[in-house]
Chains A and B, each alone.
Chain A
Amino acid sequence: MDMVSMGLLAAMGALATVAGASEDLESDVGSQSNPNSQVQLAAQVGHPHRIYNKAISGEPPSNALYAALAAVTASVLMSGYGMNAFFAIAIGAVVAAIFNGIFSVTAYMGRNTSQARFNQYVYLDVLRTHTTAIMAHAYITAFCVVSISYIMTAPWLPIQHPFPFPLVALIWGLAIGAIGSSTGDVHYGGEREFQNYIFGAGLNAANSGDIVTKAEAGLRSSIDNVWFCARFGGPVTGMAFGLTVFLDNWRTTIFDPATQGWYAVLTGIVIVILFIVYNRILEIRARKRYGPYPEYKGDIEA
């Protein structure tokens, strides 16, 4: 373990935290992930809305695509034109953001025009104001993910991962999409979309599609949603991805894989056990704090 490796590890953890947060917020502005099923349903059950609607694909494949695109562009600029890594990654991220913008616009137009029979309009002002916000978040995500991948693979830095630079970016893109879709989106789907129902439970199946369409003033747009999710869902998603990148690489930084590989594995197993114990503590605390649901009628025999 040397100071440079620890510094780089800290930088990777910080970049991952920012990337995780911006990835989740990008999917909230665009309403991309699983909660979009309710946005899609809303117009059909009589609630036309001004919420952005871009289910391009699942988040992991789309983020893997953006990250790999940015990394390939950066890689070509660096090896073919001798460009500085920082600028090459920045330009790569711009390319990824442009692709994201194209997919977003086509997805929004396609989905909303197909719902014209349910009185769902295509709002050009929503398209204009939201698409740029989506692209900005996508740029931050791609830049951070590709920077992490570059730190892991650059031949002049200590980690020197054997996988090619774009492949590492693809894998981290997939991982960040999986994390964003599993964690932060629940805050958007479970809470923000259904704030008109009582706090403390998920969506009752009978209320499917009844999303909140009105804001504090006027009609609610996805910018309102991202404002809310940026307070909790986004930052915790960042923590999840930051933890993954940091803990996974921390083991092989403090223990030299060449001589102390088994210590790295053991550290990982200890981390996993601690996670399981912590989850149990969380579960007990939540049960004590919230108690059973009042609608519950009697215990079921085992």
Chain B
Amino acid sequence: MIPPIDASMLVHIIEIVIGGLLVGIGVHFVPVGGAPAAMAQATGVGTGTVQLAAGSGLTGLLSAGLMMNYTDSIFLVVISGAVGAMIMIDATMIVGNWVYIYGVGAPLASAKANYDPITKDSQAPYVAPGTVGQGIPTVCFVSGTIGGLLGGAGGSLIYYVLLKINGDPGLSAFFAIGIFVVNAVIASYNIQGTIEGFHDPKFKRVPRAFQVCLVASLIIAIFAVLISGGH
């Protein structure tokens, strides 16, 4: 039976779409160098976009889920998720930098900017020959933190809305993970492998990801609300 469409359902759908867009845009902030970064051959974290974004965003989802046990405030739940994701991605980037500095013996440098937009440090002299930078310099670190914030907030918002609809944490979390991963994968197609953060020329492609994530999130949001709503 097709359920009656009411105003609250539309609001829920819009909230899920906002969550999906936050994830899609947040992934663009995460500095990932893919396989080359794992050989200290490119700036960024040495893993895939979806992998790191999902790792941090879903850690945030755990924090948000725990917080929602105790409170009904949407702000507290969403910000809790965002903070959880930021802590995970920051711990990862710090330790990644330990390995670049102490394990590989290379200073941190970005190859996409001649000067770090935040610290104004010169980058080119510190880029090893034959590589396109290594490690996670300050601008990438800040960008990654913003990526964690947006990803964690987006995932938590989706979870919050779904839990309001059906009251089942397990079901809501599963749908939230699904919507999160769909948007993260779309964004990573847009990124095509590596991105250094908001100073990277590839970051200008965000509007395209915005459009595609909007359509994808809308379709999934309608199904998520209908299916998990128990109709």
Contacts and interface: CB of A to CB of B under 8 A. Distances in A.
Nearest to B169: A162
Which of B38, B41, B58, B138 has the most chain A CB atoms inside 10 A of its CB? Answer: B38
Nearest to B71: A261
Interface in B12-63: 34-35, 37-41, 45-48, 51-52, 54-56, 58-59, 61-63
Contacts of B106: 190, 200-202, 286, 290
Contacts of A161: 62, 65-66, 69
A182 B174 contact: no
A190 B39 contact: yes
A231 to B, nearest CB: 10
B101 interface: yes
Contact of A167 (B45, B126, B170): B170
Contacts of B177: 171
B79 A182 contact: no
Contacts of B39: 34-35, 38, 186, 189-190, 193-194, 202-203
A186 B38 CA distance: 5
A299 B125 contact: yes
A244 B38 CA distance: 21
Interface string B114-125: 110001011011
Which of B37, B70, B106 has the most chain A CB atoms inside 10 A of its CB? Answer: B106
B104 A184 contact: no
Chain B: interface secondary structure? Answer: helix
A279 to B, nearest CB: 5
A178 B76 contact: no
A186 B54 contact: no
Nearest to A232: B103
A136 B202 CA distance: 42
B207 interface: no
A290 to B, nearest CB: 5
Tier of interface size on chain B: 35 or more
Contacts of B87: 244, 247-248, 268, 271-272, 275
Contact of B66 (A182, A252, A286): A252
Interface string B80-101: 1001101110111111111111
Contacts of B55: 60, 174-175, 177-179
Chain A: interface secondary structure? Answer: helix
Interface stretch (B3-11, B128-136, B208-216, B217-225): B128-136
Which of A33, A59, A236, A286 has the most chain B CB atoms inside 10 A of its CB? Answer: A286
A290 B105 contact: yes
B187 interface: no
A202 B41 contact: yes
Contacts of B73: 261
Interface of A: 33-35, 37-38, 58-61, 152, 159-164, 167-168, 171-172, 174-175, 177-179, 181-187, 189-191, 193-194, 199-207, 232-233, 236-237, 239-240, 243-244, 247-248, 251-252, 256-258, 261-262, 264-265, 268-269, 271-272, 275-276, 278-280, 282-283, 286-287, 289-290, 292-293, 295-296, 299-300, 302
28 contacts: A35-B39, A38-B39, A58-B47, A58-B48, A162-B66, A163-B170, A167-B173, A168-B62, A171-B58, A175-B55, A177-B51, A178-B51, A183-B99, A186-B46, A186-B100, A204-B129, A233-B103, A247-B87, A248-B87, A256-B70, A258-B70, A261-B76, A271-B87, A275-B94, A276-B90, A287-B126, A299-B122, A300-B114
Given A182-B46, A187-B103, A290-B126, 5 more contacts: A174-B55, A178-B47, A186-B100, A240-B95, A287-B107
